[in-house]
Structure 1
Amino acid sequence: MKLPKGFLFDFDGVVVNSFKSHGNAWSSAFKELFNQEIAPFPKSHAGGSPMLIAEYYCSVIGEEKRAEELFLLKDKHLDEQFTVPTLLPGVREITAFLADKNIPYGIASNATKQFLKNSVHHLELNFPVVFGVQDYEKPKPAPEAYISLATALAFTASDFKDIWVFEDSLAGTTAAKLAGMQPIGILTQCSEEELKDAGSVLVFENLLEAYQYLTK
C-alpha cells in the first residue's frame, strides 16, 4: 500500500493510558480547593480541553467562577504528583517504522505541555514534535491543534488529505476531520460505530494493529 505522507497522534488513549494520572490530579486538586469529593468523570468530556473539564466539575457544585483556579491547581498536582502513564501497545513499533521511512510524525494533545513532556521523558518515547493545550487558542474539537502540528512538520494544506490522525475521542476525531485530514480511530473509549459516525475512515484496536496493517 502507498503510505500516508504524515502521521499525527493524540496522546491520552492512543499513546498512553493516563486516566489514573489525570483522575488522581483532578480529585486531589478539587479536594484541596473545595474540601469535598469530585463528581465522576463524564464520558461526554473525554478528549476535551482541561479548562472545559474544570468548568464541568465546578458547575456541579455551583462554583463555575473558580474553574480557572481548579484548572491551574490540577496542572500543578499533575506535575508534583506525576504518575507515569501506561504505554499502550504498538507505540515503539510504529514510531520506529515511521522514523525508518523518514515519514514526519508528532503529537497534538489537549493535555498540558508539562504532562506531555514528563510522560515522553519517563517513557523514553521518540516523538520529535509535541504540542499541548497551551499551544492552541482553540483546543480540540477545533482543528487548530492538528493544523498547527502539520504546519510545524512542514506540511501545507494540500498535503492534509494524505495525513493520518490517530484518535480515540470524538472531539479529536472531529478536529482531524475539520482539518481535512484522515481520522483513524483507536478503540480505547468509543465504539467502532461511534468513531466511524464521527468521521474515522479506519478503526484499529490499538497502534500495534495499525502498525501491522501498515507493514503487511
Structure 2
Amino acid sequence: MVKFSDIKGFTFDLDGVITDTAKFHEQAWHDLATELGVEWSDTLGSQLKGIGRMDSLNMILTAGGKQDQFSDDEKVAFATKKNTHYVALIQSITPDDILPGMTAFLEEIKAGGYLASIASASKNAPQILKKLGITNYFVGIVDPSTVSRGKPDPAIFVKAGELLNLQPKQIIGIEDASAGVQAIKAAGQTALGVGAATQSANPQLWVHDTADISLKMIATTLGSD
C-alpha cells in the first residue's frame, strides 16, 4: 500500500476534475448527432464522457446504425466540425468556472513542492487552462494526439507521469470517470476518484466532489506509516 510520504506528484484529468466543459462537449456532440440523424439520449451522452474525439464520433454513428455509411475523411470532417463548435462554446470560460476547491488544492500542492501534469483526452486542454488562468500550476500537458489508445488504456497517464519525472508509486491520478480510474490504476499510480461514476472502478481514494480534495484528506486516508 502506498503511503502519503511516497507521494511527490499528481496527474489530473481536466473535464469534471478542474473545470466542467462536459456540458459544452455534450452540446456540440448532441448538435452533430442531430445533424447526422442519430437520436440523442442521456445514456449516449454519458458514454462519451472522457472518450477521445474519433472514438466518440464512432460511438454516435454506431448508436444510430450509421458506422459504415461514411468514409474516414468524412468522419474526420465531422469530428473537426464538432470541435470547431465546441471551441466556440468554451470561449465563455473564466477562472470562475474552476470547480469548487480546486484552486485551493492547486495552491496547496504547489506550496508543498508537489508536481502536477494534465492527462486529458481534450486537444483543447492548453487553451482551457489558459482561460482558467492556471497554466503555471502544471509542469506539462500530455498531447493526446501522441496517444494511440484512449482511457481506460493507461498510456495517457503513463505519459503524464513521465512529464513529472516520477515513479508511478509516487503519483496520485485524479479522475471523475470510471475509464479514467482504470487507466490510472493500470499506469501503476494511485487513483483518486471524484463522484459516484468512479466507484465501480474501485479507486484507492474517493471523494464525493472536488471540494473534498485536500492533502489532509489524502494523508488521512493513505496514512504515513
Taking structure 1 as the reference length, the TM-score comes to 0.83
- Residue number among 140, 155, 165 corresponding to 1:144 in the alignment: 155
- 1:88 is aligned, of 99, 103, 113, to 99
Q: Which consecutive residues of structure 2, in runs of 5 or more, have no partner in the other structure?
A: 221-225
Aligned counterpart in structure 2 of residue 177 of structure 1, from 170, 185, 203: 185
Letter in 1 for 2:208: E
Q: Give the alignment partner of residue 190 of structure 1, picking from 193, 197, 211.
A: 197
Structure 1, unpaired ranges of 5+: none
Aligned match of 1:213: 217
Q: Is the 8 A contact 2:39 2:64 kept in 1?
A: no
Is 2:17 the partner of 1:14? yes
Distance in 1 separating the partners of 2:64 and 2:207: 38
Report the equivalent of 2:40: 39
* Matched-pair contact (CA < 8 Å) for 1:48–1:141: no
**1:69 and 2:77 aligned:** yes
Question: Per the alignment, in what secondary structure is the counterpart of residue 138 of structure 1?
Answer: coil
Any conservation in 1 of the 2:181–2:193 contact (CA below 8 Å)?
A: yes
Greater CA drift, 123-132 or 146-155: 123-132
Question: Aligned-pair distance for 1:81?
Answer: 3.2
User: What is the root-mean-square deviation in Å for CA atoms of aligned residues?
Assistant: 2.3
SS at match of 1:81: helix
Give the drift of 1:191.
5.8
Q: Do 1:51 and 1:71's aligned partners in 2 also have CA atoms closer than 8 Å?
A: yes
Select which of 119, 126, 136 maps to 2:128.
119
* Per-residue deviation, 1:3: 5.9
Q: Report the alpha carbon displacement of residue 38 of structure 1 after superposing the two structures with TM.
A: 4.9
1:163 to 164, 167, 171: 171
Of 141-150 and 200-209, the range deviating more from structure 2: 200-209
Letter in 1 for 2:80: L
CA distance in 2, matches of 1:136, 1:28: 27
Aligned to 1:2, the other structure's residue is in SS state helix
Q: CA 1:184/1:28 → structure 2, altered by over 3 Å: closer, same or farther?
A: same
Structure 1 residue matching 2:50: 3-state secondary structure: coil
CA contact (8 A) 1:29 1:77 kept: no
Q: Distance in 2 between matches of 1:3 and 1:214?
A: 12
Return the alpha-carbon distance in structure 1 between the equivalents of residues 143 and 202 of structure 2: 23
- Sequence identity of aligned pairs in percent? 22
Q: 1:27 aligns with which of 19, 25, 30?
A: 30
Task: Report the AA paired with residue 107 of structure 2.
Answer: A
What do residues 106-140 of structure 1 show as CA deviations (whole Å, max 9, x unaligned)?
110112x22x1222111111333222422312221
User: Runs of 4+ in structure 1 displaced over 6 angstroms?
Assistant: none
